[in-house]
């Protein structure tokens, strides 16, 4: 398997979650009510899996390695766009958390904000994933030898093995405060 393989497999799981969120949005819009726990679950998935685990491998490993290569102007531009898109996803998710907290605390006007942020995320991620799968990953493959690609794949595995410990250490740290 090439290093981009696990990233593309992760995209499929993210797409499955987006389908669940879309279905949840239909329910929210029909009932004009939000299950804050549903939003918490979606946020946890986005933050832990899509952002920290998936984007972490992209930013901390793939993009780091590509920065050591002589990227074409086009490939550098696309990589920078992806980094900006990751930041957009984080900012939108943070706004979603804030709106969900307001809703949970009785602010019914937050319903529109929660819905808007969920729509933003389900509209944003498929385009982002398509850019990575169909444009950036194939182009970036040309910059690596077979040995470099295998080394990245091994580093991806090491990164994943540490994630569960990082996640639950942060949970305990937060609970202890």
The answer to whether residue 1 scores a pLDDT higher than 80 is: no
Query: Residue 142 has which token pair?
Result: 């040309």
User: With b meaning 16 or more CB within 10 Å and e meaning fewer, what string describes 67-81?
Assistant: eeeebeeebeebbee
Residue 26: count other Cβ atoms within 10 Å of its Cβ: 9
**63 Cβ contact partners less than 8 Å away, ≥ 6 residues apart:** 79, 82, 83
Domain boundaries, the chain: 4-44+59-167
Residue 92, pLDDT score:
98
Look up the CATH architecture of domain 4-44+59-167. Up-down Bundle (1.20)
pLDDT (tens digit, 9 = 90+) per residue, 22-48?
Answer: 999 999 999 999 999 999 999 999 999
Q: How many helices (H) and strands (E) does the chain have?
A: 8, 0
3-state helix, strand, coil in the chain (%, to 5): 90, 0, 10
Query: Residue 126 has which token pair?
Result: 């498929």
**38 Cβ contact partners less than 8 Å away, ≥ 6 residues apart:** 24
Please tell me the distance from the alpha carbon of residue 132 to that of residue 81, in angstroms, as a whole number.
10
Look up the pTM and report it.
Answer: 0.90
Residue 81, pLDDT score:
97
How confident is the model over 73-102, as a mean pLDDT? 97
117 burial level (CB within 10 Å; 0-12, 13-18, 19+)? buried
pLDDT (tens digit, 9 = 90+) per residue, 101-157?
Answer: 999 999 999 999 999 999 999 999 999 999 999 999 999 999 999 999 999 999 999
């Amino acid at each position: 398997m090439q290093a981009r393989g696990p990233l593309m497999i992760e995209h499929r799981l993210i797409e499955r979650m987006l389908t669940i969120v879309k279905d949840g949005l239909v329910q929210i819009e029909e009932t004009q009510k939000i299950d804050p726990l549903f939003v918490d679950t979606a946020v946890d998935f986005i933050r832990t899996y899509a952002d920290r685990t998936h984007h972490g491998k992209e930013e901390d490993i793939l993009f780091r390695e590509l920065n050591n290569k002589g990227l074409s102007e086009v490939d550098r531009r696309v990589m920078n766009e992806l980094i900006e898109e990751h930041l957009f996803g984080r900012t939108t998710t943070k706004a979603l958390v804030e709106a969900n907290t307001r809703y949970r605390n009785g602010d019914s006007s937050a319903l529109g904000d929660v819905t808007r942020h969920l729509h933003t995320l389900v509209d944003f991620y498929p385009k982002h994933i398509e850019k990575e799968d169909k444009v950036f990953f194939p182009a970036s493959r040309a910059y690596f030898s077979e040995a470099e690609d295998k080394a990245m794949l091994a580093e991806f595995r090491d990164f994943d093995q540490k994630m569960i410990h990082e996640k639950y250490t942060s949970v305990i740290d937060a609970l202890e405060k």
